[in-house]
Amino acid sequence: MPLPFHKMHANGDDFVIVDARKMANPVTSALARRMGDRNRGIGFNQLAVVLDCDDADARLEFWNADGSTLDVCGSATRGAADRLMRESNATSIGLRTSRGLLTCERMSTGVISVSMGEPRFGWLDIPLTRELATAALPLAGDPAACNMGNPHCTYFVEDLAAVDVATIGPATETDPLFPLRTNVHFVQIIDRTRIRLRIWERWGGIPLGSGSCCCGAVVNGIRRGLLNHSVEVECDGGTVTVEWDGVGPVVLIGPVESVFSGIITDTQLQAV
């Protein structure tokens, strides 16, 4: 049967939502790759599949454009929450993910808040290939690492414009220290409440933004004592707010927008 989808973005970080409630999950690695192809498919940074769930409003399953899975995507979670809250005329919703139960709310300004869970810092949690202190890794530039449902590595730099993201990013992503690869962030601190961020996304290149990367970058900055507990993060595509008290869950706050809706035809599905 034809499969409806919704294309959305969060400050230019684009994603697709497929609502598979009340049906067998139709998304496979091959279909995710086909949908994620920007020349022959829809194109996205991530895909979120909305599924039925017994202990939450819905369950989300996430895919990268190359057909691999990931535990969480902050941007697509906000998009799914936005759609489901509009559907139920609610201002809050609980979404089950591999990361755990994420609580989402619509703020008075219309932006979406997601409680992204607690960060993890153990070397096995990142994961790393050997036991190391993750607040300062033995790589050039002394980056910090954490896990927000996916691995993150953060460099703090004086001049972001001088950083060759396209060279350093993939080199760090594929460093043997990271057996599952890693997202890579480059942070220029404006003041204790504002940072400028550029990203090399694991498997994906340079995006305009990334919710989980914004969270990872702020968490590592707070660990270093460089940032306050509420930080505005300016990415290439726009600004989000990340809040973390240093102990509990990280909260991501930002806008989402619908782009278009469509249908994947039977012919396209059968070609997978």
Domains of the chain as residue ranges with CATH: 3-103+257-270 (3.10.310.10), 144-248 (3.10.310.10)
> What confidence tens digit (pLDDT) does each residue in 105-129 have?
999 999 999 999 999 999 999 999 9
Q: How far is CA 77 from CA 62, 64, 165, 213, 238, in A?
A: 9, 14, 26, 14, 17
Q: Please check the confidence at residue 20 and state whether its pLDDT lies above 70.
A: yes
Over residues 215-222, mean pLDDT: 98
pLDDT(267) > 80 = no
Per-residue buried b or exposed e for 65-83, using 16+ beta carbons within 10 Å of the residue's own CB: bebeebbbbbbbbbbbbbb
Using CA atoms, how far residue 184 sits from 134, 165, 224, in Å, is: 14, 9, 17
Give the contacts of 122 (CB within 8 A, at least 6 positions apart): 134
Note the pLDDT tens digit of each residue in 126-143. Answer: 999 999 999 999 999 999
Identify the weakest region by mean pLDDT among 53-57, 218-222, 266-270: 266-270
The answer to whether residue 55 scores a pLDDT higher than 80 is yes
Tell me the mean pLDDT in the region 2-27.
94
Candidates 218, 185, 241, 269; CA nearest to 10 is 241
Neighbour tally for 105: CB within 10 Å: 17
**What pLDDT, on the 0 to 100 scale, is given for residue 269?**
62
Q: What is the rounded radius of gyration, in angstroms, for the C-alpha atoms of the chain?
A: 18
What's the maximum distance between 2 C-alpha atoms anywhere in the chain?
55
Q: What are phi and psi of 195, to 5 degrees?
A: -135, 155
Do residues 118 and 97 lie in contact, with contact meaning Cβ atoms separated by under 8 Å?
Answer: no
The pLDDT-based confidence of 68 (bands split at 50, 70, 90) is very high
- Tell me the mean pLDDT in the region 238-266: 95
Give the residue from 10, 7, 222, 258 showing the smallest Cα distance to 114.
10
**Best CA proximity match to 62, nearest among 95, 87, 111, 91:** 95
Distance from first CA to last CA of the chain, Å, rounded?
A: 14
| Predicted confidence band of residue 271 (pLDDT cuts 50, 70, 90) | low
**CB 44: neighbour CB atoms within 10 A?**
26
| CA–CA gap between residue 73 and residue 92 (Å, rounded) | 18
The percentage of the chain sitting over the pLDDT mark of 70, rounded to a whole number, equals: 97
Strand positions, DSSP E, the chain: 3-10, 13-19, 46-51, 58-64, 69-70, 92-97, 100-106, 112-115, 144-147, 151-156, 183-191, 194-200, 230-235, 238-243, 251-254, 257-264
pLDDT in tens, 141-154: 999 999 999 999 99
pLDDT attached to residue 207 = 93
**Residue 21 pLDDT:** 95
Residue 272 pLDDT: 58
DSSP H helical segments within 184-260, as ranges?
Answer: 211-223
Residue 268 pLDDT? 63
So what's the pLDDT on residue 28? 94
Is 113 within 8 Å of 107 (Cβ atoms)?
Answer: yes
% residues pLDDT > 90 (the chain)? 92
